[in-house]
Amino acid sequence: MGKITSALKKAAEERLSRIERVARIREQDQMVIRKMGDSQIDARLIAYFDQKALISEQYKILRTNILSLFKNKSAKTIIITSAVHSEGKTVTALNLAMTMSQATNKPRILLIDGDMRRGRLEKYLGVKEPAGLSEYLRGQADLENIIFNIDVENLSFIACGAVPPNPVELLDSALMRNLLDDVRSRFDYIFIDTPPLISVTDPGIVGAQADGVLMVVQAGRTQRGIVRHAAELLNQAQAKLLGYVLTNIEYHLPEYVYRYL
């Protein structure tokens, strides 16, 4: 009995040691994503606050895949969407855009909030723009008046603007096509954050005008059948699905635990 008790005690101590290591790593992660100074930028934009964080490294892997995929192509307009709401597409779009702007060759990046129904780009960046995509597509603002920057080199933004009564018609208009043609000549990569696929037709409309679509999927939440249906909707719209970005994945590795995206 003494040997069994000793073995159980040793196993418990080893387990406690692992838990303590995990707790330390989690505490460090919290420090990594904490806002710096009086910045109004959301703490979930890890690529802004800490380029060396574990999660930032995952975005760098995604960046490498995109750079490789479009290596010999001049037009690089990418839609970022999801099957349903609350899967993390806007946070993914912002972190990816920031990570792309940090590449060695310093590409010029533009992120457009194409969700004119409930866009969140301004909220995450902590800004309030007087005009955005909606105003441009309604002929109420010029392109120069809706592009804005923060303190990230080579990265520009266009907010969604005021909610219009006809977002689908605006996205399918000649002005939208003119906008894309114009920004393609000014930027190396254009990312457009759109509403979820299942809810509305907006992503398919814009996706057909782009070079490809990235679909954000939250692990453990979105059912496989829903993801398949969303992919079918893109195919019907003649939009090219480049791949999927999984969010909310927890990796259990020997020395640490962290969440991916």
What is the reported pTM?
A: 0.81
At residue 78, does pLDDT exceed 70? yes
Structural domains of the chain, ranges and CATH numbers in brackets? 33-260 (3.40.50.300)
Give the pLDDT mean for 46-63.
93
Which residue do the tokens 């814009």 mark? 206
User: Cβ distance 116 to 244 under 8 Å?
Assistant: no
The single-letter DSSP state of residue 72 is T
Give the pLDDT mean for 187-213.
95
The count of other CB atoms within 10 Å of the CB of residue 16 is 10
The distance of Cα 212 from the centroid of its chain, to the nearest Å, equals 15
- Supply the pLDDT for residue 56: 92
HEC profile for 202-238? HHHHHHCCCCEEEEEEECCCCCHHHHHHHHHHHHHCC
Q: Is 105 helix (H, G, I), strand (E, B) or coil?
A: coil
- Kind of pairing, strands 189-193 and 77-82? parallel
At residue 142, does pLDDT exceed 60? yes
Q: How do residues 126-141 score in pLDDT, each as one tens digit? A: 999 999 999 999 999 9
Going by pLDDT thresholds of 50, 70 and 90, the confidence category of residue 261 is low
Non-local (6+) Cβ contacts of 3 within 8 A are none
Alpha carbon separation from 125 to 55, 74, 86 (Å, rounded):
19, 29, 18
User: Cβ distance 56 to 99 under 8 Å?
Assistant: yes
Question: Phi first, then psi: what are they for 38, rounded to 5°?
Answer: -105, 25
- Supply the pLDDT for residue 222: 86
What percentage of the chain has pLDDT greater than the value 70?
80
Going by pLDDT thresholds of 50, 70 and 90, the confidence category of residue 74 is confident
Q: How do residues 214-242 score in pLDDT, each as one tens digit? A: 999 998 888 999 999 999 999 999 999 99
CA dihedral 225, 226, 228, 229 (to 10 degrees): 120
Give the pLDDT mean for 111-134.
96
At residue 107, does pLDDT exceed 90? yes
User: Cβ distance 243 to 92 under 8 Å?
Assistant: no
- Supply the pLDDT for residue 249: 72
* Cα 261 from Cα 92, distance rounded (Å): 7
Question: Phi first, then psi: what are they for 189, rounded to 5°?
Answer: -135, 135
Going by pLDDT thresholds of 50, 70 and 90, the confidence category of residue 25 is very low
Identity of residue 72: N
